[in-house]
Structure 1
């Protein structure tokens, strides 16, 4: 079962019903729903049966309707009409038809339409011709000619489809991938003929249909339930909706599933409650997809940003269309109760997109959506205590191996963890590992021994432990998921055996130069990759970030969240630079550009994106733990900073270049950063106009003598 999206908390009502039994009218006997109560009184565990028994049309009816629609298509194409193609849209085309009565469209792509403007100017005339053709066929003589459409009512065994027949322009060269010039032409045509938003959406019916095709069957069943709920709302209000408003609800349902679950087998009750909670948050909703259009083209980008500045909207994935606010629906969801199983999902609510978050709301975005709460932190503390107690007292109790110390690492230790998910790194320093070389050769044996002992330990402690298979033949880390009675949810762990290179970290740091010299010598002699032994310096990595101002750590969270958005879009996670590089880049930008505890978050974020764009110039390092005073550290560092850029040296490990030169695909991240410069995050409203947020002046190259004071090049304003 997946995790759903929205926020709020309450216990499940008595009996587990969807809502209050008094809400909504009783069904009419003609609806064929005998034996079932109104939707609000249907128990949660019966919703799936309710959908299959009462909302889904029979396969036989749909097959017969398909035959009728195909007959209409063939009849019109065989006539003298210049029909070059046909597409099926609406609920019928998207396979979200409700039992009883539903809508559909039959789009006729006309050869005589050579532009969007032709469709606008000649539609009425062509509709009249099509109607005359339909009247020649007896079965379809009962058609209704509306102002801009021709409606045909199909009825098979009580299943009715109101089929709108629509002549439309077929955009040329519109193949598998839509091209930005088509949308530029669309925008130009809309301006010329003063078309309303979405007026040419019919031209993109194929894309709308293609968008819905890959979604699982249960997502479409959830759509049926949401649409049925909306029909009950209409009966209650005795009002009608805008013609395309149900489509907005379908898109909202898809969005809820994509963001909150993505599991094919999910709980229907959780799903419908998620959608209702999103509707309650209508004033915050901003939902869009960039599967067919994006922010790369200037005209498209400006149009999208204009749309996204609207207070409450949903954009179709194929063309631009604003579906107005949801205030009436909010009235019907004002008393919705959320069951206990949803609490996990509610804590992960992210109804707002970062891209369209105004600059002055970034701090609120971080606080509400990225900052871990005390519950998360307590969860991590409990889990870490369980594992540390096991490592110290149980894992090696029957052997000569001693645990010198167990250190919490990663983002939770540094105070930069994101709200989404519970994870923890534990570096365990073991007495038999007396050198870097012994760690390299023996850690696999200790990983295997820790796993073996943990399997025994879980049986005596009633722990749930699920080990993740390693992609390495000689694993350097033990990855597993832990669940126990004292934890509210599972926690993902990485346990890494390591050599205690720094001893007990004496205040005078006398052990560090020798530790670094040994490491450098090993790397030179053995050809081991730099950063291979960064776990030995976990405490230094932690202490480099942990004392920093709270707001800087919040900025790091924002950058990591941005990185995750890029990661999803690029879909080549292994090739991107590590998140740690972005953390260090954020610290560097703040040190060089601000240094204040209270700074403008949008300016900091903009500076970091500019640095990413200028990745080919970056050379960044710190001398807080190592420096240029002692040989051979000096010679090694001079070699490091002369490598192909970007160069970003780990402040705890001089061999760790997390910039990596051409090791990672920085150009992909730079491309994303460049697109994000058009985000609302970097717009400031000044009266009736908007101005752009400017970055800090930050050097992109450091030199040994200045460690950042000498500026070779700067991030431009």
Structure 2
């Protein structure tokens, strides 16, 4: 058994409101950073994992002894004729984020005499006095100290110290039942009546807090230890004791960073650190919350949550208590300076570019409608420097493909066309990628492209391997799983570039020839494609790369604000994808891009429009996916056979139907090929988002979608054809 000693007094609200551990002593474990380890700022990025295991994690034996001693206190109180109905372990100890040397813990006693939050408020002090007297009659625990609403004892086991708070509390979970809206309604009602401080009843939800942290992998908790240790070092340099409440805020911020940006159990520790430090630098914009225990469905809980989310930032809500913003208190400005210093340190900045996860400091879901344009500008729209870097990287590869790749062979590069979101002007700030379609002279038909492109992919890779040895380039190839690869995927790095760029190079047949100004239709190219698809059973859209120029032109000429709306929809799509992956196969992003263009064309058509209305309309179309039949006649139409017959067949297919405006065989709606129903479910849940709330005086109204038809017909596109039944 360990020794129980007197703990220091609580630091008051700044050190943690009721239910939060006191600040505790500022001393550290006796071994400190000895044993050959440098100061944290000097630890190389690749050694961070070793540092955690060597210096930050308590030994398994220590943790086992601590468990035994905490259980001993719990057993003693259970046997002291007290109305204890259950216990829960909280603080760093309960969350399994104990730092070696000194840490905090909580032992919550759920009392049978507390039938409500109000009971706890009115009777807690008296019951605490009884518990204190019980402890003082036991020689081992006689040094416990009463601190108003808590008792504190300091547990010491082989150099590991835990300041344990003992908290009598009401159990709103009915001894194991899940949380519900009723519980949080009661919480809000009681807090209003007794004028309780935010988070005053946080201890009541210790069981939920424990469950919340149990969901996360061991490596995430190791990252938490690293961030907490860094915070303690920062406080020590300022001769200030760490706030346990703020330490908890940093734990949640670390979990948020991993959840939003990684979700892999095996990740690079340095990337995680850089991500958390980057979020700390954006503290004035931080709005972090979870809806795993409470949400927006119940009116009272929704209003409580919205009140918090609309308050001044930084906001980091306790995932078990919507009244408890643990990010409100803390020296964020001073910590921001320290975060920048560590980010700039040679040890953490040991590679170029220094990788981190793509995590925004706030959620789109709680961004008010009038701030959507600002959200796009601040978080989604690439800056000019970024775009110049992309263009430079694309030009390097294009020049190589045109002038070097096939210079010693009879193969000629007819043209290299830039495609994808970068070329269309709809790229997101993070996750840069670029498509380059290279049209080769030996590929003289769709059939030859289908049979020979794998050979050219392999040749381009071989030539790139030679090319990179003569240039200041770092190229990392992604090996294709296909025996006959259709695309060469690789990452390009350059000493002159601050970021890496992911490329897809796709060999293709030049079906359209050299496009001339004024040409908007190529009937022969489409007739040949339709004939091949009918005769060979090749999937529709297989040769969409041949029409890359038309795909880009379809978007490039659109207003800038529409391209920004596309960025917003793509960001929303990525949030849905992260949430579901790898559970479902979602529709391609290109389908959402086309749906956005269609919503704007049919609903607004103006260069200036309300972004919230446009976003709301796109989600409305997603929800109505089972009715969608959308196509354009800008590059093909109903005038020529067999295109007319083929199009009529296409638009009678199972909905949703969304035809690629550059390729009539490409139905990116796909019928039941993709899980539209899951995307529609997400879209329906997003209708309660703040994105679609509009303030009108003292009240709030819901943003309404534009009136957009869900079905296109030949007649609506100006074709003089009687629609077939079912169209």
Bin the TM-score by the shorter chain: 0.7 to 0.9
Q: Distance in 2 between matches of 1:669 and 1:78?
A: 54
- Is the Cα–Cα contact under 8 Å of residues 429 and 500 in structure 1 kept in the other structure? yes
Is 1:613 the counterpart of 2:614? The answer is no
1:642 aligns to 2:652 (yes or no): yes
SS at match of 1:426: strand
Contact 2:318 2:326 in 1 (8 A): no
Q: Tell me the TM-score normalised to structure 1 length.
A: 0.85
Tell me: CA distance 1:487–1:526, structure 2 relative to 1, closer, same or farther (3 Å).
same
* Corresponding residue SS for 2:466: helix
Per the alignment, residue 304 of structure 2 pairs with 303
- Normalising by the residue count of structure 2, what TM-score does the alignment of the two structures yield? 0.83
- 1:557 paired with 2:573, answer no
Residue aligned with 2:203, SS: helix
Which residue, out of 588, 597, 622, partners 1:587?
Answer: 597
What are the residue-to-residue correspondences of 1:284-323 with 2, within 5 Å? 284-295=285-296, 300-312=301-313, 313-320=315-322, 321-323=324-326
Q: 1:514 and 1:298 mapped to 2: Cα distance?
A: 60
The aligned counterpart of 2:556 is 546
Deviation at 1:132, TM superposition (A): 3.9
Shift of the 90–505 alpha-carbon distance from structure 1 to 2, 3 Å rule, reads same
Secondary structure in structure 2 of the residue aligned to 1:467: strand
Gaps of 5+ in 2: 1-25, 721-727
Q: Does 1:487 align with 2:497?
A: yes
Q: Once the 2 structures are TM-superposed, how far is the Cα of residue 104 of structure 1 from its aligned partner?
A: 1.0
Contact 2:353 2:499 in 1 (8 A): no
Matches within 5 A, 1:237-636: 244-259=245-260, 266=268, 275=276, 278-279=279-280, 281-295=282-296, 300-312=301-313, 313-320=315-322, 321-323=324-326, 325-326=328-329, 328-331=331-334, 333-334=336-337, 336-337=340-341, 338-339=343-344, 341=349, 350-461=360-471, 463-507=473-517, 509=519, 512-572=522-582, 575-636=585-646
Q: CA deviation at 1:411?
A: 0.5
Aligned-partner SS, 2:616: helix
SS in 1 for 2:540: coil
Aligned residue number for residue 75 of structure 2: 74
Contact 1:219–1:257 under 8 Å retained in 2: no
Partner Cα distance (1:283, 1:318) in 2: 23
- Residue number among 211, 217, 223 corresponding to 1:219 in the alignment: 223
Q: Hey, what does 2:12 align to over in structure 1?
A: none
Per the TM alignment, residue 669 of structure 1 is displaced from its structure 2 partner at its CA by: 1.1
Which position in structure 2 is the counterpart of 1:140?
A: 141
Relative to 1, partners in 2 of residues 1:303 and 1:345: Cα closer, same or farther, differing over 3 Å?
farther
The aligned counterpart of 1:228 is 232
Aligned to 1:206: 207
Q: Distance in 1 between matches of 2:400 and 2:29?
A: 66
Q: Displacement of 1:581 after TM fit?
A: 0.7
Where does residue 21 of structure 2 map in the other structure? none
Check whether the contact 1:286–1:353 (CA below 8 A) recurs between aligned residues. Answer: yes
Distance in 2, matches of 1:181 and 1:664, equals 38
Instruction: Give the superposed CA RMSD.
Output: 3.6
Q: 1:489 to 1:275 in 2, by over 3 A?
A: closer
State the shift of 1:318 in Å: 2.6
3-state SS, counterpart of residue 658 of structure 2: strand
Say which is worse superposed, 455-464 or 89-98, in terms of deviation.
455-464
Instruction: Give secondary structure in 1 for the equivalent of 2:503.
Output: strand
Which string of whole-angstrom CA distances, capped at 9 and with x for unpartnered residues, describes residues 76-119 of structure 1?
33444454543221122223334554321012344565665655
Q: Secondary structure at the match of 2:638?
A: coil
Match of 1:10 in 2: none
C-alpha contact (below 8 Å) 2:493/2:500 kept by paired residues: yes
> 1:553–1:184: structure 2 CA closer, same or farther, 3 Å change rule?
same
Alpha-carbon distance change, 235 to 358 in structure 1, aligned in 2, over 3 angstroms: same
CA contact (8 A) 2:692 2:702 kept: yes
CA distance in structure 1 between the aligned counterparts of 2:590 and 2:377, rounded to whole angstroms: 21
Question: Structure 1's 620 and 536: CA in aligned 2 closer, same or farther, altered over 3 A?
Answer: same
When residues 69 and 265 of structure 1 are mapped into structure 2, their CA distance, relative to the original with a 3 A threshold, is same
Q: 1:101 to 1:403 in 2, by over 3 A?
A: closer
Counterpart of 2:723? none
| CA distance in structure 2 between the partners assigned to 1:543 and 1:29 by the alignment | 63
Whether the aligned pair in 1 keeps the contact of 2:56 and 2:226 (CA below 8 Å) is no
Give the corresponding residue for 1:16: none
Greater shift after overlay, 448-457 or 311-320?
448-457
Q: Which secondary structure does the structure 2 equivalent of 1:702 belong to?
A: coil
The answer on whether the counterparts of 1:142 and 1:153 sit within 8 Å (CA) in structure 2 is no
| Structure 2 CA distance for partners of 1:162 and 1:488, relative to 1, 3 Å | closer
Instruction: Summarize deviations over 1:146-170 as a string: whole Å, max 9, x none.
Output: 4333333323456442212223416
Between the two proteins, the alignment pairs up a number of residues equal to 680
- Aligned equivalents of 1:281, 1:308: Cα separation in 2: 16
- What is the match of residue 173 of structure 2? 171
Offset at residue 588 of structure 1 (A) = 0.9
Q: Distance in 2 between matches of 1:231 and 1:709?
A: 73
1:604-642: CA deviation from partner (whole Å, max 9, x where unpaired): 111111111111221111110111111111111112112
Secondary structure of 1:162 counterpart = strand
Judging changes above 3 Å, is the alpha-carbon distance between structure 1 residues 184 and 673 closer, same or farther for their aligned structure 2 residues?
Answer: farther
